[in-house]
Structure 1
Amino acid sequence: MMHWTFILATEAVETTVKEGGLFDFDATLPLMAVQFVILVALLNAVFYKPLGKAIDERADYIRKNIADARERKQKTQNLAQQLELELRDARRKSQDVIAAAQAEAQKVADAKIKEAQQEVQAEREKAAQEIEAQKAEAFGSLEGEVEALSNQILNKLLGAELVNK
């Protein structure tokens, strides 16, 4: 079988050589070139120009969106910086308010403590005076009793000596 393929291939080569070689440069070559140019122009007009236009519009749309996004990003960063500054200012003010409130609370607490200490001191002095008054009263009543008991003891001792003498 291999033998027959070689024979057919040689016969085909021999017929092409007799007719003008591998390439035949008659009127078909320029006709094919003109058909190719017409096909390229037709494809360009029908498919590639609308596609190119759509691609260009899409590229413009993307460029515009990127520019808008950059602008919005810049505005956002500026706004974030401004808000950060406002936040720092608000924190500082709130710390000042807290410090002032703590100082005021400390003053009020000190005043209440001082007032309570004065009340305690006054109560202590009043209690001390009452104790002194009760002590003096107790000494006064005890003196009378001591004197009466002393007299009774003396009477018993002296009365017994008077009776013994």
Structure 2
Amino acid sequence: MVEFLLLMFALDKIYYTPLGKFMDERDAAIKEKLNSVKDTSEEVKQLEEQAAAIMRAARAEISAALSKMKKETELEVEQKLAEGRKKIEAELQEALANLEKQKEDTVKSLDSQIAALSQNIVNKVLPVQ
């Protein structure tokens, strides 16, 4: 029986205690890794939320920039159209003024030709005495 107790004591000190210590350390390391993975998953969720918020802000900023650019382009187009209309109206007024002047010149020319022609007819119909 003493041999049995000595064998048990020796096995406990030489084999079971180091094995138990190794298994306890391994269990603690596994628990630590599991806890760090859980912490990391929370951190990943926070980072995903931050990324989503940044994307929403960027989309809103892009939308505002596009809206502003559209308004500026519309104003520029309207301004150019107004300038074009003014230019066309000025050219039309100038053309109308030229036509009116040509009409007056033509009427004066016709008046002088009518006067000359009527004088010519009078001279032919009524002989000069």
TM-score range, shorter chain: 0.7 to 0.9
Deviations 1:83-102 (A, max 9, x none): 31232123223212321221
SS at structure 2 position matched to 1:98: helix
Q: Which residue of 1 aligns with 2:21?
A: 53
Instruction: Point out where structure 1 has 5 or more consecutive residues left out of the alignment.
Output: 1-29
Q: Is residue 66 of structure 1 aligned with residue 62 of structure 2?
A: no
Larger radius of gyration: 1
Structure 1 length normalisation: TM-score? 0.60
CA pair 128-50 structure 1, distance change in 2 beyond 3 A:
same
* Equivalent residue number for residue 34 of structure 1: 4
- Change over 3 Å in CA distance of 1:52–1:143 after alignment to 2: farther
CA deviation after TM superposition for structure 1 residue 121, in Å? 0.9
Q: CA deviation at 1:64?
A: 0.8
**Which residue is 1:19 aligned to?**
none
Identity %: 23
**Cα distance between partner residues in 2 of 1:143 and 1:62:** 119
Q: Distance in 1 between matches of 2:31 and 2:13?
A: 26
Question: Matched residue pairs, number?
Answer: 127
Q: What amino acid is the match of 2:69? A: A
AA at the equivalent of 1:136:
E
The residue type paired with residue 79 of structure 1 is L
- Residue of structure 2 in register with 1:158 after alignment: 125
Tell me which amino acid in the other structure corresponds to 1:34: F
Match of 1:77 in 2: 45
Q: Would the alpha carbon gap of residues 156 and 55 (structure 1) be closer, same or farther in structure 2, given more than 3 Å must change?
A: farther
Alpha-carbon offset, residue 137 of structure 1: 1.5
Higher relative contact order (CA 8 A, sep 6+): 1
TM-score by length of 2: 0.73
CA RMSD, aligned part only? 3.1
Cα distance in 2, alignment partners of residues 132 and 125 from structure 1: 10
Q: What one-letter code is carried by the residue in structure 2 that aligns with 1:80?
A: E
Q: What is the match of residue 13 of structure 1?
A: none
Task: Tell me how far 1:142 sits from its aligned partner.
Answer: 3.4
